[in-house]
Every structure is written in C-alpha cells, then in structure tokens.
Amino acid sequence: MDDVTVLLGAIERGDPDAAGRLWPVVYAELRKLAAAQMAKERPGQTLDATALVHEAYLRLAVDQDRSFANRRHFFGAAAQAMRRILVEAARAKGREKRGGGRKREQADLDALVAGGSDEDLLALHDALEQFAAVDPVKAKLVELRFFAGLTLPQAAECLDISPSTADRGWRYARAWLYAAMSGDAADTSSEKNTDPG
C-alpha cells in the first residue's frame, strides 16, 4: 500500500493531520499532470499549471462528502476536477459555444490535444458527457488521457484494465467522439456500444 492510499485512509478515519501530510505527497504528481495538460493549452491562458493544481486540490479537499478508496481513485478525481476547471475557464471567456452556431467541418482530437480553441474544448466536454452515458469506463479513459495527460498504460493501470483493453477502448472512444464533435452521427447518445473492449 503506498503513502497516498495510507493517508487517504487516515483522512477517512478522521485523522486531523492526514490532509496536511497528503498535500506534499501528491503535489509533485498533480503538478506534473497539470503541466502536461497546460502544455496542450493555447498561450495566454489565465490559468497556469500551479493554479490548476491548487484549484483541483482545493475542490477535492473541501468536498466533505467524498472519500477516496486509493491512489487511483484520488488521481482519477483530480483529473475530473482539472477537466471541470478548464471547461469553466473556457466558458468564462464568454465565447459562444461551438463557434456561434457554425457547424464544424471536422473535429480533430489530435489538434485539440496540441492546443485547440476554447470552443473545441467545450465541444469535447459536451461530447464526453454524452459518451459517459453510453460507456462510463471509456469516458474515464479519455478523461485520464486528455485532461490528466496520462499515457495509455498509466490510464489502464488507474482503471485496473489491461493495456490491450485500454488501447481498444481508446480507439473506440476517439471514433465516437470524432463523430459526436463533427456532427456526423445522427444520434450518438443512443448508439449501442458494440465495442468488445
């Protein structure tokens, strides 16, 4: 059992000092995840990696109703918090969702990872919300890969799935999200998941 899991257990048992001891243990790893995420953002963002880490940690720390079973669960929740923070920042810029009603010609997740626009980020967020209703595990895989910057093997480990299952899931999720973001699918939210992985 690693230090993070031990400290999370202590916090859940009500140890008043455990939360203070957790921050130094997770900070470097959260900072690395945030730096990877911020590297994908366009220059001139009001958030930086440090601000993203602090905001994500604060959101996790103040949620008294939430407990974390282990390291994987904690970092998965951190990835979700970072995603929400970035989406909120994009929305706060006051841009109209999806380019003011223009239909996207083609969604490019690779370009989005390399530094897409706020409207692309919002489009991905919306598509990911729909996808989570269809396949929550694969949606979490995308979240860990895109918003936390984990490699495919790291994300597979977080989700406790095999690397080959993660690879199949990643390919399926990308195809689904491409279709949803491009408007190519008539109704992606009601499609049945026929992917075996």
Domain of 58, CATH number, reads 1.10.1740
Which of 94, 119, 150 is the last residue before a domain boundary? 94
Pair 87, 121: CB distance under 8 Å = yes
φ/ψ of 89, rounded to 5, equals: -65, -40
Tell me the C-alpha to C-alpha distance, in Å, between residue 133 and each of 126, 189, 190, 193. Answer: 11, 7, 9, 11
Residue 84 sits in the same domain as residue 102: no
Residue 169 sits in the same domain as residue 85: no
Structure confidence at residue 189 as a pLDDT band (50, 70, 90): very low
> What pLDDT, on the 0 to 100 scale, is given for residue 138?
93
Q: Is the model's pLDDT at 190 over the cut of 50?
A: no
Residue 105 sits in the same domain as residue 57: no
Q: Is the model's pLDDT at 133 over the cut of 90?
A: yes
Q: Is the model's pLDDT at 93 over the cut of 60?
A: yes
Residue 132 sits in the same domain as residue 39: no
As to burial, measured by CB atoms within 10 angstroms (0-12 exposed, 13-18 middle, 19+ buried), residue 113 is middle
Which of 45, 66, 94 is the last residue before a domain boundary? 94
- The tokens for 95 are 């841009």
Which of 70, 94, 118 is the last residue before a domain boundary? 94
Q: Is the model's pLDDT at 162 over the cut of 90?
A: yes
Residue 53 sits in the same domain as residue 119: no
pLDDT in tens, 5-23: 888 888 888 887 887 788 7
Residue 188 sits in the same domain as residue 127: yes
Residue 101 sits in the same domain as residue 191: yes
> What pLDDT, on the 0 to 100 scale, is given for residue 195?
52
Q: Which of 30-39, 45-54, 98-107, 150-159 has the lowest mean pLDDT?
A: 98-107
Pair 85, 56: CB distance under 8 Å = yes
Residue 58 sits in the same domain as residue 104: no
Q: Between 126 and 105, where is the model more confident?
A: 126
Residue 134 sits in the same domain as residue 163: yes
Residue 45 sits in the same domain as residue 85: yes
Residue 85 sits in the same domain as residue 104: no
Q: How many residues does the chain have?
A: 197
> What pLDDT, on the 0 to 100 scale, is given for residue 62?
67
Q: Which amino acid is at 57?
A: Y
Residue 197 sits in the same domain as residue 100: yes
pLDDT in tens, 35-76: 777 776 666 666 777 888 888 887 887 676 677 878 888 888
Say how many domains are in the chain. Answer: 2
For residue 125, what are the domain limits?
A: 96-197
pLDDT averaged over the chain?
76
